[in-house]
A = this chain, B = another copy of it.
Amino acid sequence: MFTINTSDKRPIYEQIIDNIKELILKGILRQGEQLPSVRGLATILTVNVNTVMKAYNELEREAVIEIRKGKGAFVKEIPKKVINKQQLVQLRQDLKASCIAMHYMGMSREEIISELSSIYDELIKEESE
């Protein structure tokens, strides 16, 4: 359920963030549900406590979870997000970089869109369950 990939070049705390967001999107973690403790998750993933802490703090800053002191971390309901312009710019740059990479790997327009679609569908396929 919780996994990180050491060969993934993204920082571990970022992988944890995306991992939890993904579990929420898939409905595996539901609103109000309690997340593992910082120490517990650190043990599960065999990473440093500070790394998990950083992920949880960032998730709270993004209003994805709520940290109640002495109680634990809980999933918040997904809010209608105000689109942050800076984030959107960065996102587009990332997508553009991915497009260039895919094009250089010889993928056609259709293949690129198909690739994205299947990744998206994989991501939320359990949401309707």
Point out residues on A near B: beta carbons under 8 Å.
5-11, 14, 18, 21-22, 25, 61-62, 64, 66, 68-69, 78, 80-81, 83-84, 86-106, 109, 112-113, 115-117, 119-120, 123-124
13 more CB-based (< 8 A) A-B contacts, given A94-B98, A99-B123: A6-B66, A8-B89, A18-B96, A18-B97, A22-B100, A81-B105, A81-B106, A83-B106, A92-B119, A96-B123, A100-B123, A103-B123, A113-B116
- The docked-state distance in angstroms from the alpha carbon of A46 to that of B103 is 29
Report A97 CB to chain B, min CB distance, Å: 5
In the complex, chain B residues whose CB is within 8 Å of the CB of A94: 94, 97-98
